Chain A
């Protein structure tokens, strides 16, 4: 017991003194959280979509009637600075549409809406035919865009998407009464009101932090100790392997607990996250996953003898597992052969579980699976370690 405590102190203090350990355990996940929140928290929120549109009005009024003006007003009602805006109308111009092509070709605008010369005549005819109950063809406005340019393609899609609203707007101006129709929404698994991207990503970052610590502070360190014969030196002393492994494991676990609170407090105090950092279930589940990651770290440490090889392997393993865990974005529509990696990825289950325990949203996987799959990884790691005769190697 005493020697286990000594090992715990030595390894914990050595990690706290080592700038590489501090970097991977504390700085890296904090920086990652900072970058992700800064990058993604504004994407997709109202006001972040802004396409630049040019309207070319070529329409000629028919006996003083100008439907084109109503159309332009409809587009204006859907553009900034109105609160439901999707785009900015860069300019409304008369003349030829060709004059505006260069603006789209060289990214000064994303799309051009052309109101053709006979627009008023066609709308007038359509309205008349509609009143008489006769079939009619709609008047067309042309949306010029670049099919191979992302902003331009999106702008064309957005204009297409608002055409129903444009028609409704124009009709409301002609005293056409829209039917009462209520639109409501319901959020399934709502645990907190309006979670932000920080709330979404914090559980994942906490898991990544623990996983990186497990991989990079356990595997390479064991490989380093093996390479420098530290293990052999321990073996010549009366300390038992059990003391070493207990002390070593708990030193990493303690570091991970510090890491948990550091990241959670950073998310709550700096980024105003509303995650429940003191949730007992979250802490218990976190400790459980930490043990699994430490075991995986042991596997890697015993699989290779060179610390550089261990570092390289952990980097290679880390990236795919992170991206296939739904930490940064939710995962949808993946082909079955990629899904196999997702379904067997312990980080995916851990992220789902932590989101639920930290009160962000219900786990998309059943909770028993969130425990069972990581536990399987833990069992597999233990079996692997027993085949490597870990106890005898020390």
Chain B
């Protein structure tokens, strides 16, 4: 017990003195979330649901409707700029100052895209369908007999793209920080032969692994809270946070990630391989999960893969705790129980195996 306490204290001092470890635990999740937040919010229009910058050109007979069109575009989440000719549209779209251009006459409508925007044009073409139908209906003089009136089923906060992305970015950042920080720490101790020296002491592998894990655990929980608060301040995200559930999911996911880091450092003997494997695995997890996009826009095979990734459940749990995703409470508790159990088991098994391999 006494050796455990001493080791905990020693590990604490080593952790706070280790600039790289603290940077990884506190700064990298924040930096990761900020970069992803800005890039993805930029594509989707900041804190709005949809905001596409449109360059609009109207033929002479339609120019009196400019104000009405501008208002309608704004209501639909577009930011429309009216220009004098198609040449200007092409210039603005080709220099990426506008995402799409529209030239409208009373008998035709031309949409302008920039090929350099790649796959993003597919989303714009979906908008093209909505916009052209709206214009066609008005030009044909079809009255609106039926309107859709949105009704919220619950009083939850309005979801914006950025508030959807933040928990995903946070989940992947915490997972990355915990896995890499734990794996690096153990691999460092192995390459310095510290583990060999500890092996000849009465200290058990479990106690040692536990002392490393504890400081990664509390720091990741603190880091998560700071990241959420920073997101609220920077991106004006509004969540209906259940702090108890948030602490629970962050804690159990941190435990699971630390367990994964421990096992990676056991399976791969040198630090480079550990880091490389972790990087690849985390990239796969990041892209094949619900971190950046909801299941509804994933192809079927991706939905199946996403459900095999722990980060999917972490993200889902985080969104539930932040009040932006539905989930059964029993399912939430089950996810937490599995994370905690798996994490603790991996740390215990990893610690034992790690010391066992140092016997020679």
A162 near B133: Cβ-Cβ < 8 Å: yes
Given contacts A184-B109, A330-B116, A355-B116, contact A319 B35 (CB under 8 A): yes
User: Roughly how many angstroms separate A375 CA and B294 CA in the complex, as a whole number?
Assistant: 41
The answer on a CB contact under 8 Å between A142 and B149 is: yes
A331 to B99, CA, bound (A): 10
Contacts of B324 in A (CB 8 A): 148-150
Query: Chain A, 71-93, contact with B by CB distance < 8 Å: what is the 0/1 string?
Result: 10000000000001000000000
Q: Determine whether the beta carbon of A178 is less than 8 Å from that of B136.
A: yes
Query: A303: CB under 8 A from chain B?
Result: no
B201 within 8 A of A: no
Number of interface residues of A (CB under 8 A): 109
Q: Is the CB of A139 within 8 A of B147?
A: yes
Contact call A142/B151, Cβ cutoff below 8 A: yes
Task: Collect the chain B residues with CB atoms within 8 Å of residue A191's CB.
Answer: 115
Q: Does B9 contact A (CB under 8 A)?
A: no
Q: Find the residue from A43, A71, A201, A323 having the highest chain B CB count within 10 A.
A: A43
Pick from B116, B272, B297: contact of A362, CB under 8 Å: B116
Compute how far the CA of A363 lies from the CA of B15 in the bound complex, rounded to whole angstroms.
46
Contact check, A361 vs B114: say whether CB atoms are below 8 A apart.
yes
Residue among B119, B147, B284 making CB contact with A43, cutoff 8 Å: B119
Which of the listed residues A23, A50, A153 has the most CB atoms from chain B within 10 Å of its own CB?
A: A153
Best-buried of B42, B129, B135 by chain A (most CB within 10 Å): B42
Against A, the Cβ 8 Å flags (1 = close, 0 = not) of B142-168 are: 111111111111101111000010000
Q: Restricting to A162-217, which residues have a CB under 8 Å from any CB of B?
A: 162-168, 170-171, 176-192, 195-197, 199-201
Within the assembled complex, what's the spacing in Å between the Cα atoms of A5 and B296?
Answer: 57
Given contacts A168-B137, A185-B113, contact A154 B296 (CB under 8 A): yes
Interface centre among A52, A113, A127, A316 (most CB of B within 10 A): A316
Partner of B153, one of A32, A104, A184, A200: A104
Q: Which of B113-143 contact A (CB under 8 A)?
A: 113-123, 125-126, 128-130, 132-137, 139-143
A240-248, A274-282, A332-340, A377-385 - the one binding chain B = A332-340
Min CB–CB distance A219 → chain B (angstroms): 15
Q: Is A164 touching B49 in the complex (CB atoms < 8 A)?
A: no
Taking a contact as CB atoms under 8 Å apart, the answer to whether A147 and B159 are in contact is yes
Q: When chains A and B are docked, how far (Å) is the Cα of A166 from the Cα of B96?
A: 33
**Which residues of chain A are within 8 angstroms of B279 by Cβ–Cβ distance?**
28
Distance of A123 Cα from B323 Cα, bound (Å): 38
Asked, given contacts A148-B159, A185-B128, A361-B116, whether A105 binds B145 with beta carbons under 8 Å apart, the answer is no
B94 A189 Cβ-Cβ under 8 A:
yes
List residues of chain B with CB within 8 A of the CB of A316: 23, 28
Task: Please tell me which stretch of A6-14, A34-42, A254-262 contacts chain B, meaning at least 4 of its Cβ atoms lie within 8 angstroms of it.
Answer: A34-42
A332 and B325 form a contact (CB under 8 A): no
Query: What's the Cα separation between A44 and B323 when bound, in Å?
Result: 27
Assess whether A332 is in contact with B326, with CB atoms less than 8 Å apart.
no
**List of A residues within 8 angstroms of B158 by Cβ:** 147-148, 153
Q: Is the CB of B156 within 8 A of A138?
A: no
**Smallest beta-carbon distance B48→chain A, Å:** 10
What's the Cα separation between A84 and B133 when bound, in Å? 13
Nearest A residue to B157, CB-CB: A148
Check A185 against B148 for contact (C-beta < 8 Å). Answer: no
> In residues 24-57 of chain B, which contact A (Cβ within 8 Å)?
28, 31-32, 35-36, 38-43, 45-46, 49-51, 53
Query: Which residue of chain B lies nearest to A40 when distances are taken between CB atoms in the complex?
Result: B119
- With a cutoff of 8 Å between Cβ atoms, the chain A residues found around residue B121 in the complex are 187
A31 within 8 A of B: yes
Contact B147 A171 (CB under 8 A): no
- Hey, which chain A residues are within 8 Å of B111, CB to CB? 183-186
Cα-based distance from A43 to B298 in the complex (angstroms): 7
Please measure, in the bound complex, the distance between the C-alpha atom of A150 and the C-alpha atom of B94, giving whole angstroms.
31
Q: Would you give the 0/1 interface string for B268-305, flagging 1 where the beta carbon is closer than 8 Å to chain A? A: 00001000100110011001100001111111001000
**In whole angstroms, what is the CA distance A31 to B158 when docked?**
37
User: Of the candidates B109, B115, B120, which one forms a contact with A44 in the assembled complex, judged by CB atoms under 8 Å apart?
Assistant: B120
Closest chain A CB from B36 CB (angstroms): 7
Q: Does B61 contact A (CB under 8 A)?
A: no
Q: Which residues of B contact A360 (CB under 8 A)?
A: 115-116, 118
CA distance A36 to B136 in the complex (A): 38
Cross-chain contact B296 with A150 (CB below 8 angstroms): yes
- The 8 Å CB contact of A166, one of B36, B51, B146, B287, is B146
Given the complex, which residues of B lie within 8 Å of A188, measured CB to CB? 90, 93-94, 112-115
Q: Let me know if B142 and A332 touch, CB within 8 A.
A: no
- Which residues 313-354 of A sit at the B interface, judged by CB distance below 8 A? 316, 319-320, 323-324, 329-335, 338, 352
Give the most central of A136, A185, A190, A361: most B CB within 10 Å: A185
Partner among A143, A166, A185, A364 whose Cβ is within 8 Å of the Cβ of B150: A143
Whether B133 and A165, one on each chain, are in contact in the complex, defined by CB atoms closer than 8 angstroms, is: yes
Report whether A146 and B114 are in contact in the complex, using a CB–CB cutoff of 8 Å: no
A154 and B294 contact, CB distance less than 8 A: yes
Whether B20 and A312, one on each chain, are in contact in the complex, defined by CB atoms closer than 8 angstroms, is: yes
- With A164-B133, A181-B108 known to touch, is A362 a contact of B115 (CB < 8 Å)? yes
Q: Is the CB of B110 within 8 A of A185?
A: yes
Residue contact A187 to B133, C-beta cutoff 8 Å = no
Interface contact B146-A163, CB-CB below 8 Å: yes
Whether B99 contacts A187 by the Cβ 8 Å rule is: no
> B328 near A: Cβ within 8 Å?
yes
The yes or no answer to A298 lying at the interface (CB within 8 A) is no
User: At the interface, yes or no: A156 with Cβ under 8 Å from chain B?
Assistant: yes
Closest chain A CB from B237 CB (angstroms)? 12
Quick one: which of A43, A312, A335 contacts B297, CB cutoff 8 A?
A43
Q: How far is the CA of A177 from the CA of B141 in the complex (A)?
A: 10
Q: Are A146 and B154 in contact (CB under 8 A)?
A: yes
13 CB contacts below 8 A, A to B, read: A43-B122, A48-B297, A123-B145, A139-B145, A140-B146, A153-B159, A163-B144, A168-B133, A183-B111, A184-B111, A332-B99, A333-B51, A361-B115
With A49-B297, A141-B149, A162-B133 already in contact, 20 other A-B pairs whose C-beta atoms are closer than 8 Å: A45-B122, A49-B296, A126-B143, A130-B143, A141-B147, A142-B148, A142-B150, A143-B151, A145-B150, A164-B144, A165-B129, A165-B137, A179-B141, A181-B109, A185-B113, A185-B128, A187-B113, A334-B38, A361-B114, A364-B96
What is the interface of chain B, defined by CB distance below 8 A to chain A? 20, 23, 28, 31-32, 35-36, 38-43, 45-46, 49-51, 53, 90, 93-96, 99, 107-123, 125-126, 128-130, 132-137, 139-154, 156-159, 164, 240, 272, 276, 279-280, 283-284, 287-288, 293-299, 302, 323-326, 328
